[in-house]
């Protein structure tokens, strides 16, 4: 049982790590702010969920697991809000999504 839990938790941690890595690569490689945020949000959602659930499996049924669940809930509430605030601030500041600009250019030609 303990071995199974260990395997499950390491699998979750590794997949979470991969998601964080993909998020990091995406944030560097994507062409404009909105697509970069889209990639980075992978770190906040999939990465955070998988890693915290993996750590929770390691913690077992204890106070630490409840604290981790509280942290996960907090992250799931705040990171999308932060992404939303960032995107709407960028839009208000006049930054257009790259795809829309490209579309218009093509239509204009």
Partner 1 sequence: MTELFGVFLLTFMVITAVAIVHTRHLLVAVILTGIFSLLMAANFFLLDAADVALTEAAIGAGISTVLFLAALALCNEHERAYTSSRLLALSVVTVVTLIVIYATFDKPRFGDPQAPVHQHVAPWYFDTTREAIDVPNVVTAVLASFRGYDTLGEVFVVLTAGIGVLFLFGVRPTRKSEMPNTTAPEPGQGLRHYLIPRVVGRLLIPFILLFGLYVQFHGDYGPGGGFQAGAIIAAAFILNALLEGESQALQVMPQKLLTGLMAGGALLYGGVGVVTLFMGGNFLDYSVLAADPVSGQHWGILLIEAGVGITVTGVLISIYHAFASREKH
Q: What is the contact surface with partner 1 in residues (CB under 8 A)?
A: 74, 77-78, 81, 84-85, 88
Q: 67 vs 104, which CB is nearer to partner 1?
A: 67
Q: How far is the CB of 81 from partner 1 (least distance, A)?
A: 4
Q: Min. distance of Cβ 16 from partner 1 in angstroms?
A: 18
Write out the two tokens for 42.
């992978």
The pair of structure tokens assigned to 73 is 């809930």
Burial class (CB in 10 A: 0-12, 13-18, 19+), 94: exposed
CB of 82 to partner 1, least distance (A): 8
62: left (phi over 0), alpha (psi -120 to 50) or beta: beta
* CB nearer partner 1, residue 88 or residue 102: 88
Nearer to partner 1, 14 or 81 (CB): 81
- Cα–Cα dist 89/101, whole Å: 18
Count of C-beta atoms within a 10 Å radius of residue 36? 16
The residue (of 77 and 101) whose beta carbon lies closer to partner 1 is 77
Task: Work out how close the CB of 74 gets to partner 1 at its nearest, in angstroms, rounded to a whole number.
Answer: 8
């Amino acid at each position: 049982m303990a071995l199974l839990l260990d395997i499950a938790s390491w699998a979750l941690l590794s997949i979470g790590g991969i998601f964080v890595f993909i998020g990091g690569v995406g944030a560097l490689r994507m062409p404009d702010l909105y697509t970069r945020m889209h990639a980075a949000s992978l770190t906040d959602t999939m990465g955070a969920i998988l890693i915290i659930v993996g750590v929770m499996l390691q913690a077992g049924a204890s106070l630490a697991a409840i604290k981790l669940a509280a942290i996960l809930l907090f992250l799931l509430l705040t990171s999308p809000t932060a992404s939303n605030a960032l995107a709407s601030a960028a839009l208000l500041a006049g930054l257009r999504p790259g795809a829309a600009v490209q579309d218009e250019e093509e239509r204009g030609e």
